[in-house]
Structure 1
Amino acid sequence: MSKIESLNNIDHENLKVNPGYSAELGDDVSSTVTFITEFSEVQKEYPILCRKDPDSGNYQAVVLFGLQKDENLYLSEVDPTRQKHHGWCAEYVPAALARGPFFIGVKRDSYNVKEDPRPVVQIDLAHPKARCDDGRILFQKNGGHSSYLIYITAVLNTINDGVSLTKSMFEAFNRYDLLEAVTIDVELLNKDRIKIKGFETVSTERLSNLSGDVLEELNKSGFLQAAYFMATSMSNVKKLIGWKNRKNSEGVK
């Protein structure tokens, strides 16, 4: 059960959070959502696809971490001194996973009910990464934010700023019929076959056939670059296949 609290330097003065990644900490997921505000970083290391949220019917951008359910091939137990993010085999961690136990909530002052609610950083104290004795501090002794909390705040801003912009991006992609279904069909070295369906990606053919006016519109909004980021990121599937083959050859379950 969640235990949500608004973060502050009094109640959480001595709180420490585990910044690492592992299956035990809940990071054994095969995918997570991503946002246009981080596409430039994400596309360097992960495949970006999209799908409709079954609840809202809205499109979501999704990054793949593995080729099978609950498989995260980016989790790594190598020497942490050789990793930017302990337990993670990539330079950039997508914001939806990097946020850990933190998220943005809203707060309204009780004495001024007409005032718009203010965004605040909240933490789930029941999360497995919260309350870690040897973790990262959130506040300095003078009450200021630690470097880790500054990083987390930036991560949360990436999500907060990206939600509406990503929605607008998909509205534009659908307006010009730029999305097409994609199937990832893989035969591994051990002859196992994996087929991943239910996702879509940007069609570079449809993109190249757009009129100049439409291309200019997409370019000015930043959505043209995002479309190419999504399309070119699919080359990272080859990396996942290579890691999967290596994992199988090493006999890792």
Structure 2
Amino acid sequence: MTQHALLNNIQHQNTKVITQYSAEYGDNITSVMAFPTEFVELQKEYPILFRQDEESKKLQAVALLGIQQSENLYLDESLDSGWAAHYIPSALARGPFLIGFQTQQDNGEQQKVPVIHIDMDHPKVNEQRGKAIFLEHGGNSPYLEHISTLLNVMHQGMTISDAMFAAFNEYELIESVNIEFELNNGEKHRLVGNYTIDESRLQSLNAEQLAKLHQAGFLQLAFAVVASMSNIRRLIETKNQKLNR
């Protein structure tokens, strides 16, 4: 269940949000949406893959967090944050907050402007512990300012995602990838339905094509996706370590 409400400093003055990560709070997910605006940070610690949305048939990017259903190998109860990586994907770091749109008048014209909503049924929302959303006298807390930045990363990422995939398709850079591996205990796994950047095709682009991708801001993102694939090895190593405990 979800109960979305427009965030305001009267109704939510005493609302707090738990910022630790745990399966208890629903963070045990195998993948999470990734946005082009965070690819450069994500590629340092997560595999970035592309998947086709079942309804829209459009490609969307995800950060891979585990190799089995309901598994997040970045969760670590021994850490205060509960998360074993420096950068946390914005779609998870935003917690119970989301972007909504509100119609406002601007110079006599109606415009839709992004506003922050909160899911009051989210397991991290309470009034007893966690980080305050608003200061005692009603101003935005540093935590809410951080959330606003994350939501902007997501919003801007959504606005350029279609153009990015269109550019990748134009230069035939997207290829399907099957990820196969065997764990130390003999278990064999095969992850299908994923796409990535064809590294050899990317390297074969001519100067004009590279320049166009660079000018559009997508060349760096393509290289980030390629570099991120090395993090699959990290996931496998983490899984083996957990099996040995």
Distance 1:113 1:66, change over 3 A: farther
How much does 1:117 deviate?
2.0
Spell out the pairing of 1:100-139 with structure 2 (5 A cutoff): 100-109=95-104, 114-139=109-134
What is the aligned counterpart of 2:239 among 241, 244, 248?
Answer: 244
How much does 1:230 deviate?
0.1
C-alpha contact (below 8 Å) 1:7/1:123 kept by paired residues = yes
**Is 2:5 the counterpart of 1:14?**
no
Q: Structure 2: where are the runs of 5+ without partners? A: none
Q: What one-letter code is carried by the residue in structure 2 that aligns with 1:246?
A: Q
Q: What one-letter code is carried by the residue in structure 2 that aligns with 1:153?
A: S
Encode CA deviations 1:209-247: one digit per residue, 9 max, x unaligned.
112111100011111110000001000011100000011
Spell out the pairing of 1:129-168 with structure 2 (5 A cutoff): 129-168=124-163
User: What is the aligned-residue identity percentage?
Assistant: 45
- Aligned-pair RMSD on alpha carbons? 1.6
TM-score of the superposed pair, with normalisation by structure 1: 0.93
How much does 1:40 deviate?
1.0
Q: What one-letter code is carried by the residue in structure 2 that aligns with 1:19?
A: T
C-alpha contact (below 8 Å) 1:29/1:70 kept by paired residues = yes
- Partner residue of 2:178? 183
SS of the equivalent of 2:157 reads helix
Structure 1 residue runs of 4 or more that deviate by more than 3 Å after TM superposition: none
Whole-Å separation in 1 of the counterparts to 2:77 and 2:151: 26
How much does 1:105 deviate?
0.5
Whole-Å separation in 2 of the counterparts to 1:157 and 1:105: 12
Whole-Å separation in 2 of the counterparts to 1:115 and 1:228: 40
SS of the equivalent of 1:108 reads strand
How much does 1:165 deviate?
0.9
C-alpha contact (below 8 Å) 2:14/2:127 kept by paired residues = no
- Partner residue of 2:199? 204
Whole-Å separation in 2 of the counterparts to 1:113 and 1:184: 55
- Partner residue of 2:218? 223
Structure whose residues are more often strand by fraction? 2
**Is 2:227 the counterpart of 1:232?**
yes
Q: What one-letter code is carried by the residue in structure 2 that aligns with 1:104?
A: I
Q: Structure 1: where are the runs of 5+ without partners? A: 81-85
Whole-Å separation in 2 of the counterparts to 1:163 and 1:234: 22
